[in-house]
């Protein structure tokens, strides 16, 4: 399995506030100097830990989770559930010696497109400082393959 690209970011977005911000950003032709892939979820409460671990194993350098503002989830508690899950994932990443800063949650209102763009730019800058996904940069295969 090949590593994706330099400074690749996977962004999970909920289908409500975050999707609206993404679409507004696209209408304004906002650009990012990073490879960002978006996966839409009905709500970030549907974000399973395996999605995060799999994305890191696939080679993404960082993962952003865009959620509705706290107390404003369209499914009432989805973003609260996601926050609790992400705290546990952070703890697990710490145990594994994997920098937990590579996984970040952003609370986003539908009209907050500047925050949306700024979040991606700042996260990309952070990843530049942290370097490549250590699963790949530490592998003997030159970052090309860690499992079949
Ligand atoms: Fe957006 Fe739940 S609907 S976080």
Q: What total of structural domains would you count in the chain?
A: 1
pTM exceeds 0.85? yes
Cα–Cα distance for residue pair 34/9, rounded to 1 Å: 7
- What's the whole-number average pLDDT of the chain? 88
The count of residues in the chain is: 148
Q: In this structure, is residue 77 part of a structural domain?
A: yes
φ and ψ of 40, to 5 deg: -90, 135
Q: In this structure, is residue 146 part of a structural domain?
A: no
Q: In this structure, is residue 144 part of a structural domain?
A: no
* Chain position carrying tokens 């490549």: 132
pLDDT of 71 above 60:
yes
pLDDT-based confidence at 145, cuts 50/70/90? very low
Expressed in angstroms, the distance from the first to the final Cα of the chain is 7
Q: In this structure, is residue 70 part of a structural domain?
A: yes
pLDDT tens digits for range 13-53: 999 998 999 999 889 888 777 789 999 999 999 999 999 99
98 alpha carbon to ligand 1 midpoint, in Å? 27
Among residues 137, 11, 1, 106, which one has the least CA distance to residue 62? 11
The minimum-distance atom of ligand 1 relative to the CA of 45 is: 2
Q: What is the edge-to-edge ordering of all strands in the sheet holding 8-14? A: 35-41, 8-14, 62-67, 103-107
Cβ 143 vs Cβ 132: under 8 Å = yes
Q: In this structure, is residue 137 part of a structural domain?
A: no
For the ranges 28-32, 37-41, 100-104, 121-125, which has the lowest average pLDDT?
A: 28-32
Per-residue pLDDT, 93: 95
For the ranges 27-31, 69-73, 81-85, 131-135, which has the lowest average pLDDT?
A: 27-31
Residue 35: Cβ within 10 Å count: 15
Q: In this structure, is residue 37 part of a structural domain?
A: yes
Q: In this structure, is residue 147 part of a structural domain?
A: no
114 alpha carbon to ligand 1 midpoint, in Å? 19
Q: In this structure, is residue 138 part of a structural domain?
A: no
Cα–Cα distance for residue pair 55/50, rounded to 1 Å: 8
The minimum-distance atom of ligand 1 relative to the CA of 17 is: 1
135 alpha carbon to ligand 1 midpoint, in Å? 31
Query: Domain of 70?
Result: 8-131
pLDDT-based confidence at 138, cuts 50/70/90? low
User: For the domain that residue 92 is a member of, what is the CATH number?
Assistant: 3.40.50
pLDDT-based confidence at 5, cuts 50/70/90? low
């Amino acid at each position: 399995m090949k590593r994706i690209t330099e400074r690749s970011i996977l962004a999970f977005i909920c289908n409500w506030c975050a999707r609206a911000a993404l679409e507004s950003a696209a209408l304004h032709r906002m650009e990012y100097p990073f490879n960002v892939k978006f996966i839409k979820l009905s709500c970030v409460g549907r974000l399973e830990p395996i999605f995060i671990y799999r994305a890191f194993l696939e080679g993404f350098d960082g993962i952003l989770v865009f959620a509705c503002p706290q107390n404003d989830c369209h499914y009432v508690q989805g973003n609260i559930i996601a926050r609790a899950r992400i705290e546990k994932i952070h703890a697990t990443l710490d145990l594994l010696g994997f920098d937990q800063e590579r996984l970040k949650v952003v609370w986003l209102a539908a009209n907050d497109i500047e925050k949306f763009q700024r979040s991606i730019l700042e996260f990309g800058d952070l990843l530049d400082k942290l370097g490549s996904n250590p699963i790949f940069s530490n592998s003997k295969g030159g970052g090309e393959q860690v499992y079949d």
